[in-house]
Amino acid sequence: MKFPKKLWGLQSIHDLEQTLLYKGLEDMHFDLSSVKMISPICAIWTLLMADRFKGSLQITSPEDNSPVSYMERLDFFQHAGEDVIRNFEKNHDISSLRKRHRNNLSDQLVEISRVEKTVFNHDIVSAVRKVLEAHNKSSLANQIVAIITELIGNIVDHSNSHGYVAVQYYPQKKRIEIALGDAGIGIVQSLQDLFPGKYSRDIVEEAFRDTVSAKWDEDRGFGLGSVRTRTIKGSLKYKFQVLTNGALYTISDSEIIVERNGAWAPFGTYYEIKIWEGV
Amino acid sequence: MTNISIARLVPETKNLIYRGELVPVREKILSSILELPSNTVVYYDFSGIKAINHSGCDELIAKVMQELVELDSPKFLVVTNLSVDYEHSIEIDLALTRREIAVVHEVDRNKAEFLGKVTEAHREILQYVYENKRVTAREVADALNKKINLISTHLLTLFKTRLVRREEDLLSEGGRQYVYSSLI
């Protein structure tokens, strides 16, 4: 499966998952040779797919060194399996990349960190605050930390799997992107028995209810619902998207929009939150 | 009055952000509260606490308040030393509002605010009670120019939801009346 030049955002992942399902899972070959740019959420997706299909997935690395260098900076290779690293080493000196001097980007980047089931890593809190406080976004820090920690808590407690999280600040665009993904079965699949006969979009609506529901796990719903009901202060713009079980949703406090639909996908759940200066 | 240092209960992280870690903390707090005498005011001291989120507030405050409301023997909860930098009061207010529960926040020795779901009518009465410290339904009704039956009902609700204390006073002319008082 050939990847496009630009791997950016959940739309890219949705396209890739649908192509993968169409082609079938027998011949798993990710051809990243044309990739020039990759965003944190797409790097996380690649990691999770490599984890899921360990041993049976072949990867052709990007020809361009720039995306590989960025992936290294994201700590992609720290979490990737040896088979993935070997694939990349066919075209790139990954060992040297990993040993190079790193600029301190703690004011812009929270590298990919692994989320384990049943263990909550608190380091993400101070790392995220550092990025936001460095760009005079202290007032945002508490809200962003609250959002991220609720989503991580959901992965730890309910995905029955591991995941990854990363945060990137783009100084020229003045935009923050939060990327999380897990290797679970997906929100719709995990809840569909509780809501028989409901459409996927309605099940996602239930998962992110802003009012507490007694129909299912109240504690879980309380956390996810709080992510939806937050309003970001001032003139900042905010976009919260979720990709799960083959569909991409944009979630606001007033509605859930199905941005893209597709074939059922069992590849976990991905969250992307973008915050930027309003115009 | 009993003081509980929340930071001492989560010493390694000082965060209230993951429900799984806070369940045993809540259970420990509740079992200690159950041992306390009736009418005790328990202070949650948030000094040193850093990040909190809805799940953390829910587990440690909302669920404890729900238990206190169910107890036959009244006991009360006040939160204090909330961090402005970490916006604790905003987070607690949002989380408790979703649970339709409220808690008293001691802002300083003489000032309280009420975080969570409080109706306008209740807020007006609470402000009067907390300014005057000890009041009767008659005093509140006269001050706010409302019917005494209505005020009595509201005060009973505020007592049941553990936002005010209540004692029974014997009247010199015979009979009894309830006196409501602030928690701080």
What local confidence, expressed as pLDDT, does residue A159 receive?
Answer: 80
Q: In this prediction, what percent of chain B has a pLDDT beyond 70? A: 100
- Render pLDDT for A79-91 as a digit per residue (tens, 0 to 9): 999 999 999 999 9
Judged against a pLDDT cut of 90, whether residue B168 lies above it is answered with yes
In A22-162, beta strands by DSSP E: 29-31, 37-38, 58-60, 109-115
Q: What letter represents residue A279's amino acid?
A: V
Sequence-separated (6 or more) residues with CB below 8 Å from residue B178: B136, B137, B152, B155, B166, B167, B168, B169
What local confidence, expressed as pLDDT, does residue A232 receive?
Answer: 61
Q: Of residues A144 and A43, which shows the higher confidence score?
A: A43
What local confidence, expressed as pLDDT, does residue A192 receive?
Answer: 87
CB-nearest to A120 from B18, B58, B59 is: B18
Element (H, E) at B4: strand B2-5
From CA B93, how far away is CA B114, in angstroms rounded? 8
* Least confident stretch, A93-102, A181-190, B15-24: A93-102
What local confidence, expressed as pLDDT, does residue A216 receive?
Answer: 60
- Report how many helices (DSSP H) and strands (DSSP E) chain B contains, helices first: 8, 8
From CA A58, how far away is CA A34, in angstroms rounded? 16
What local confidence, expressed as pLDDT, does residue A225 receive?
Answer: 81
Mutate to test the interface with A, among B12, B16, B19, B99 (most CBs of A within 10 A): B19
What local confidence, expressed as pLDDT, does residue B116 receive?
Answer: 97
From CA B6, how far away is CA B33, in angstroms rounded? 14
Q: At what angle do helices B137-144 and B120-132 cross, to 10 degrees?
A: 110
Q: Looking at chain A, how many residues does it have?
A: 279
Mutate to test the interface with B, among A149, A211, A232 (most CBs of B within 10 A): A149
Q: What distance in Å separates residue A213's CA from the closest CA in chain B? A: 10
Q: Are B41 and B5 in contact (CB under 8 A)?
A: no
Cβ-Cβ contacts under 8 Å, B53 against chain A: 145-146, 149-150, 153, 223, 226
State the DSSP string of B125-154: HHHHHHHHSEEEHHHHHHHHT--HHHHHHH
Judged against a pLDDT cut of 80, whether residue A230 lies above it is answered with no
- Render pLDDT for A186-224 as a digit per residue (tens, 0 to 9): 999 988 888 889 999 999 988 887 665 555 666 776 778
Angle, CA of B60, B65 and B69, to the nearest 5°: 155
Q: How confident is the model at residue A278 (pLDDT cuts 50, 70, 90)?
A: low
User: ipTM value of the model?
Assistant: 0.90
What would you report as the CA-atom Rg of chain A, rounded to the nearest whole angstrom? Answer: 18
Q: What distance in Å separates residue B147's CA from the closest CA in chain A? A: 34
CB-nearest to A222 from B20, B54, B86 is: B54
- Render pLDDT for B172-184 as a digit per residue (tens, 0 to 9): 888 889 999 999 9
Q: Which pair of structure tokens corresponds to residue A223?
A: 């956390």
Q: In this prediction, what percent of chain A has a pLDDT beyond 70? A: 92
Residue A31's CB is within 10 A of a number of other CB atoms, namely: 14
Q: Of residues B15 and B173, which shows the higher confidence score?
A: B15
- Render pLDDT for B42-68 as a digit per residue (tens, 0 to 9): 999 999 999 999 999 999 999 999 999
What local confidence, expressed as pLDDT, does residue A235 receive?
Answer: 63
From CA A80, how far away is CA A151, in angstroms rounded? 22
Judged against a pLDDT cut of 60, whether residue A233 lies above it is answered with no
Instruction: Please state whether beta strands B76-80 and B41-45 pair in parallel, antiparallel, or not at all (unpaired).
Output: parallel
What local confidence, expressed as pLDDT, does residue A272 receive?
Answer: 95
Q: Are A164 and A158 in contact (CB under 8 A)?
A: no
Q: Which pair of structure tokens corresponds to residue A192?
A: 């569909």
> Taking all residues of chain B, what is their mean pLDDT, rounded to a whole number?
95
Judged against a pLDDT cut of 80, whether residue B113 lies above it is answered with yes
> Taking all residues of chain A, what is their mean pLDDT, rounded to a whole number?
88
Q: Are A256 and A204 in contact (CB under 8 A)?
A: yes
Q: Of residues A55 and B123, which shows the higher confidence score?
A: B123
Average the pLDDT over A50-64 and give the result. 91
By C-alpha distance, the chain A residue nearest B88 is A142
Q: Are A134 and A107 in contact (CB under 8 A)?
A: yes
What is the distance, to the nearest Å, from the Cα of residue B123 to the centroid of all Cα atoms in its chain? Answer: 13
Its pTM surpasses 0.80: yes
Cβ-Cβ contacts under 8 Å, B16 against chain A: none
